[in-house]
Amino acid sequence: MNGLQYYINNLFAIFLNKKYKGWGRKRTGRFALWCQQKFGGSLTLLEEGFIRSLDLGTHNAPSFSLVEDNIGIYYDATTPSKLENILNNYDFKYDIELLEKAKKAIELIKKYHVSKYNNAPDIEKDFFSSDKSREKILIVTQTAGDASLRYGLGDRFTTKQMIDDAIDENPNASVYIKIHPDVLAGKKRSDIELDSIPKECTVIAEDFNPISLLKYFTKVYTKTSGMGMEALILGLDVVCYGVPYYAGWGLTIDKQDCSRRQRKLTLEEIFAGAYILYTNYYNPYSQKKSDIIDTINTIVKYRTIMLQNRYELFFFGFSRWKRKNVQLFFPSFNQKKIIFCSTLKEAQEKGLNSQSKIYIWGKKPFLEVESYAKEQNISLLRVEDGFVRSVSLGSDLTKAYSLVVDSRGIYFDPTQESDLEYLLNNYEFDDEIIERSKRLQNYLVTNKISKYNNAKDKKIDLPNLKKSQTIVLVPGQVSDDASIVYGAKGMSNLELLIKTREALPNAYIIYKPHPDVLAGNRKGHIESSVARQYVDTIISNVSLDSVLELVDEVHTITSLVGLEALIRGKKVHTYGLPFYAGWGLTQDIKLSSRRVKKRTIDELVAATFILYPRYINPKTKLFCEVEDLLKEIDKEKSCYNHNISYKMFIDIRNLFFRKIQLIIRTILK
């Protein structure tokens, strides 16, 4: 919330409902308190939650959590707070579901190292290799002027005093001092000058993930830092010099007492009170209300990608029109370079080294680059469009909303294992993802969404169709498509028509040419007079769903239409070896000895649409889940069908809201 918007909101509150909101004990919070005291009414103070974001707040990373407190604020020990009241009064022992959720969240935090900020990498395994001491003590410093120090009574002790006590109380241990990440980022000052730190201590100036770092220690000293709670989560002894929200409940060694805190609580109870009951969650990527489990899972998923992009990324084979859009799929926590190259020599001149990553579009031939990457042990990944791509065609230079990034091969090349094939052979699909897959399939079918979504629904007439005749769809493909080159040895559309007619001499066969071929952008055209020798009708410029609704079977080389037909309950015969063949769901001419599992359609869809691709929300330009993209695709389809571009729709909507804001500001003046 910007300053102007904040004051406008509170001015409305003064004249309308006398409900005031402000940010903690900062300027806006103090102003909201003044309004309440001056005019009466209610006061709510806001603060960031305990699992905030992927990157630092000082980097404007979108937040996942917010606390709203109508009594005080959690880090202010001078007065009660809503959190303190929860911890004093809630009957945790009767809320088994809450405690189970807390236990699950705690285990996920420990397993995946989820903290308040999640931009830092895990500590290197050999970081403490030179320190063979049995016990390590960690002192957590904070930022100068931090509100939790003032209101959490942390300023009653100096940081130097805390350090001296730690040294005296642990004579046989190694003492380390952790510097706050905002200090390391150059955004704030520390609460201790580095030149005043005793020589007995070792400063950890590197920015490591807090959970991964804490696992090396047995005891933590802090004033009011949130790392104290994370240390409790890991089972460490925690000494508190201030009065943070987690102190005074029997789990910490406290230098100060808080007479209001009368109960002895377990770790799960404090966690449930603070992280679940007190905190509101919102997923900025899916743009909907969330909870702690979804928050942790989302952070883990996207942090993995962002940490992989820490170093310079070199891209080969990406068309110029794709380059700006493709960068959205490769965010990172630092200002890393994304470098597009044509040759190995060019990449080397621009800094390609062993820490770099190489990305190649599809199976474009860069033999010299591939050989060099193997010799130098440089990560090489392949990139391709996802399975729900856009409204219009890729060959029309329409931006893609989904990509797959494959570290083993690429899904359409069955000559080697891909990440998708690995998932289908090895992933354990739980009930939650299976239910999600079922909902996803229902949405795809109900809303008639495919890879491309520019063709309109039409009622199709099938001339000369006989009663009880089997209706078969043969989807055309681009003749030089890589899935045909690698998965069918270059089989042509005409060969497919001939083989289908030979297999089904009495069937009613529909041929649907590939939209890229129809648009004149790609190869694979068959003259109508030739195609009609083997088919009963040719259908084009109509949505795939309009055709699939009519047919009993689909016969294809490697087309994605085969998967879309499976989702809609149709029989599918494959003549090449597409990624969805060989799992017991299709009738296949070719087989792969690597594909050993029998999979259900729910498992296939979960791997293909949920786990394998990356998705970008066309509105926010942030990562999103497939369900979020489908909703945006649906909106675009509606605009497309009314001959309005989605961009035009968004521009009109934004203009409307700007006008409303201008009117409000004029009235206030």
Question: pLDDT for 440-468, tens place per residue?
Answer: 999 999 988 877 655 566 788 899 999 88
Q: What pLDDT band is residue 479 in, cutting at 50, 70 and 90?
A: confident
Pick from 278, 242, 270: which is nearest to 74 by CA?
Answer: 278
Confidence at residue 648, expressed as pLDDT on a 0 to 100 scale: 52
pLDDT of 493 strictly over 70? yes
Looking at the fold, whether 259 and 307 belong to one and the same domain comes out as no
Burial 90-120 (b: 16+ CB within 10 A, else e): bebeebeebbebbeebbebbbebbbbbbbbb
297 by Cβ neighbours in 10 Å (0-12 / 13-18 / 19+) ranks as middle
For residue 647, pLDDT over 60 is answered with no
Helix (H, G, I), strand (E, B) or coil at 68: strand
Residue indicated by tokens 């066309």:
618
248 and 350, same domain (yes or no): no
Residue 376 to residues 81, 364, 368, Cα–Cα distance (Å): 57, 20, 12
Instruction: Please report which confidence band the pLDDT of residue 658 belongs to, taking 50, 70 and 90 as the band edges.
Output: low
Asked if residue 652 and residue 608 are part of one domain, the reply reads no
- Say how far apart CA 207 and CA 121 lie, in whole Å: 8
pLDDT of res. 8: 61
Global pTM value: 0.83
* Same-domain status, 164 and 303: no
Answer yes or no: is pLDDT of 379 > 70: yes
Give yes or no: residues 403 and 470 share one domain.
no
Q: What is the mean pLDDT of residues 178-199?
A: 77
Domain count, the chain: 4
Q: What is the CATH number of the domain that holds 603?
A: 3.40.50
Are residue 364 and residue 396 in the same domain, yes or no?
yes
Please report whether residue 182 resides in a domain. yes
Element (H, E) at 202: strand 201-204
More confident residue, 400 or 588: 588
- Inter-residue contact 216 to 122 (CB < 8 Å): no
| Domain C-terminal end among 244, 263, 282 | 263
In a domain, 65, yes or no: no
Percent of the chain with pLDDT over 70: 89
- Running DSSP on this structure, what letter comes out for residue 92? G
Where would I find the beta strands (DSSP E) of 482-536? 508-512
Q: Is 149 exposed, middle or buried (0-12, 13-18, 19+ CB in 10 A)?
A: buried
Residue 415 domain-assigned (yes or no): yes
- pLDDT higher for 17 or 78? 78
Structure confidence at residue 177 (pLDDT): 93
Of the ranges 142-151, 370-379, 619-628, which is most confident? Answer: 370-379
More reliable by pLDDT, 619 or 274: 274
Is the pLDDT at 89 greater than 60, yes or no? yes
**Rounded Cα distance, 278 and 256, in Å:** 24
List of residues 6+ apart from 461 with CB closer than 8 A: none
pLDDT tens for 340-378 read 999 999 999 999 999 999 999 999 999 999 999 999 999
Q: Does the pLDDT of residue 36 top 90, yes or no?
A: no
Q: How far is CA 368 from CA 350, 353, 359, 380, 532, in A?
A: 16, 15, 14, 12, 45
Q: How far is CA 76 from the centre of its chain?
A: 33
**Based on the domain organization, do 480 and 607 belong to the same domain?**
yes
Question: 155: number of CA atoms within 13 Å, CB side?
Answer: 13
Q: What is the pLDDT at residue 637?
A: 61
Answer yes or no: do 171 and 236 share one domain. Answer: yes
Q: Which domain holds residue 531?
A: 453-616
Q: Is residue 335 part of a domain?
A: yes
- Tell which residue, 259, 435, 255, 403, has the closest CA to residue 322: 403
Strands 279-283 and 313-316: unpaired
Answer with the residue of higher pLDDT: 218 or 389.
Answer: 218
Binned at pLDDT 50, 70 and 90, residue 396 comes out as: very low
In a domain, 284, yes or no: no
Mean pLDDT, range 495-517, rounded to an integer: 92
Q: Diameter of the chain by CA atoms?
A: 95
**How close are the terminal C-alpha atoms of the chain, in Å?**
20
- Give me the pLDDT at residue 60, please: 84
Model confidence pLDDT, tens digit, residues 105-141 = 999 999 999 999 999 999 998 899 888 777 999 999 8
Asked, for residue 467, whether it belongs to a domain, the answer is yes
Q: Give the pLDDT mean for 313-322.
A: 93
The reply to whether 336 and 420 lie within a common domain is: yes
Q: In terms of domains, do 472 and 488 share one?
A: yes
Tell me: the pLDDT tens digits for 147-180? 889 999 998 999 999 999 999 999 999 999 988 7
Quick one: pLDDT at residue 2?
58
Same domain, 409 and 313: yes
What's the whole-number mean pLDDT along residues 462-477?
93
Structural domain contains residue 17: no
pLDDT > 90: percent of the chain: 65
The answer on 338 and 392 residing in a single domain is: yes
Residues 6+ apart with CB under 8 A from 470: 504, 506, 507, 508, 552, 553
Return the DSSP state at 618: T
At 456 the three-state DSSP class reads coil
Q: In this structure, is residue 521 part of a structural domain?
A: yes
Higher-scoring residue by pLDDT: 128, 187 = 128
